[in-house]
Amino acid sequence: MALEEIRAAELDTEQFIAEKVAEIREAVGDGLAINALSGGVDSSVVTMLGHRALGDRLKTHFVENGLMRQGEPQKIVDSFAALRVRVEVADAKDKFFAALRGLTDPEEKREAITQTFYKDVFAQLVRESGARFLLQGTILTDVDETVAGIKRQHNVFEQLGIDPQETFGYGILEPLIQLRKDGVRKVGEAVGLPGELFRRIPFPGPALAARVIGEVTPEKVELVREATVIVEEELAVTGAFQYMAILHEDCVTGMREGQREFGQQIEVRCWDSMDARTATPTQVNWAILERLGQRLVSEVPGVVSVTYGIAPKPPSTMEVV
Ligand code: XMP
């Protein structure tokens, strides 16, 4: 069945929230549901909708997959504690790195993350909690790209003919599936999220694994995590839709203190976009790029090359994996 898009300009947020809250209550009945909060815009909005609908009968978890940004688990637990939402941290780092070991193909990496999330980590959380439903923040752009065969987004099932109940043993509710990012932000504001959460730049479900070309190891993720801190600090002033650091697979020849250093390359991407369907590289001021380059080569161990992505989407996509 084709999903009917609700465009941000036509979105009546109060009516949307009331409808989704009623639908969640109806589906879950007097049972329990769980959701995974990554701290991204979509899962933050779903958490607020779910708690409005179910109160404490929604169990919210932050899955520590080892692929998140610096300090993220504590930041999210604290931000939601201030909204009176309790978030449990589930440590699953080893499971994700084990599933990713030896994989270099982008779609195989995505599939490994999907299977680990849904078949392993969530399935266990569902079993332990007695919940029958998982609430998640799939949006229309995720569905489009998956169905078109461009990228298998980690959270899309029914549109691929996969029945989550049969495959994973629980139902999935997707209250945001008719929206795109601009619509989700409007709902986020209306549902009471603070600006620092609903205005946050998007962050993908596969997290920093989407930004490591080739095999994803804890060491490579740590390197891209350090680079991400710097990129996010330096590019926040641009107000761009999204910006990111990417770790390339090949090393290149560099030099430091007169010695040859065969080191890492970081690619920086910064995107202007409305809804992530198409995007163009932001015309970042040269002085900002220069400082960014300086910081990356001096503060991230082993980095000797920094490039800025200038290809538009399409034919590029925003993430590299
Ligand atoms: P791409 O790379 O496909 O990204 O041009 C478009 C937007 O979607 C985000 N993205 C994802 N979000 N699960 C998500 O929830 C995913 O698997 C995923 N892959 C990409 C990406 O960060 C960008 O905002």
Q: pLDDT tens-digit profile of 67-85? A: 999 999 999 999 999 999 9
* Cβ atoms 237, 205 nearer than 8 A: no
What's the pLDDT tens digit per position in 19-57? 999 999 999 999 999 999 998 999 999 999 999 999 999
Cα of 254 vs centre of ligand 1, distance in Å, is 32
* Cβ atoms 56, 20 nearer than 8 A: no
H or E segment and range at residue 234: helix 218-235
What is the pLDDT at residue 1?
58
What's the pLDDT tens digit per position in 181-194? 999 999 999 999 99
* Cβ atoms 153, 145 nearer than 8 A: yes
Confidence class for position 2, pLDDT limits 50, 70, 90: confident
144 touches ligand 1 (CB under 6 Å)? no
Cα of 204 vs centre of ligand 1, distance in Å, is 5
Cα of 147 vs centre of ligand 1, distance in Å, is 14
- DSSP class of residue 210? G
Cα of 256 vs centre of ligand 1, distance in Å, is 36
Cα of 319 vs centre of ligand 1, distance in Å, is 7
**What is the Cα–Cα distance from 77 to 62, expressed in whole angstroms?**
8
182 touches ligand 1 (CB under 6 Å)? no
**What is the Cα–Cα distance from 146 to 276, expressed in whole angstroms?**
14
Residue 238 pLDDT exceeds 80:
yes
What's the pLDDT tens digit per position in 192-204? 999 999 999 999 9
- pTM listed for this prediction: 0.93
Average pLDDT of the chain, as a whole number: 96
Tokens of 274: 């409305």
**For the chain, percent of residues with pLDDT exceeding 90:** 96
Domain boundaries of the chain, sorted by first residue: 8-198, 212-308
Cα of 258 vs centre of ligand 1, distance in Å, is 41
What's the pLDDT tens digit per position in 277-311? 999 999 999 999 999 999 999 999 999 999 999 99
- Correct CATH for 8-198 of 3.40.640.10, 3.40.50.620, 3.90.1150.10, 1.10.357.10: 3.40.50.620
Measured CA angle at 124 (ends 164, 128), to 5 deg: 115
For the segment 265-284, the average pLDDT, to the nearest whole number, is: 97
Query: Hey, which of 139, 318, 320, 321 would you mutate to test ligand 1's pocket, going by the most ligand atoms within 8 Å of its Cβ?
Result: 318
211 touches ligand 1 (CB under 6 Å)? no
Please count the CA atoms within 13 angstroms of the CA of 92 that sit on its side-chain side: 27
Confidence class for position 154, pLDDT limits 50, 70, 90: confident
Confidence class for position 231, pLDDT limits 50, 70, 90: very high
138 touches ligand 1 (CB under 6 Å)? no
Cα–Cα distances (Å) from 53 to 17, 27, 134, 172, in that order, read 10, 11, 14, 16
Confidence class for position 213, pLDDT limits 50, 70, 90: very high
Query: Hey, which of 43, 139, 143, 153 would you mutate to test ligand 1's pocket, going by the most ligand atoms within 8 Å of its Cβ?
Result: 153
DSSP β-bridge partners for residue 244: 269
204 touches ligand 1 (CB under 6 Å)? yes
Cα of 38 vs centre of ligand 1, distance in Å, is 14
DSSP β-bridge partners for residue 262: 253
What's the longest Cα–Cα distance across the chain? 69
114 touches ligand 1 (CB under 6 Å)? no
Residue 164 pLDDT exceeds 80:
yes
137 touches ligand 1 (CB under 6 Å)? no
- Correct CATH for 212-308 of 3.40.50.2300, 3.30.1280.10, 2.40.50.140, 3.30.300.10: 3.30.300.10
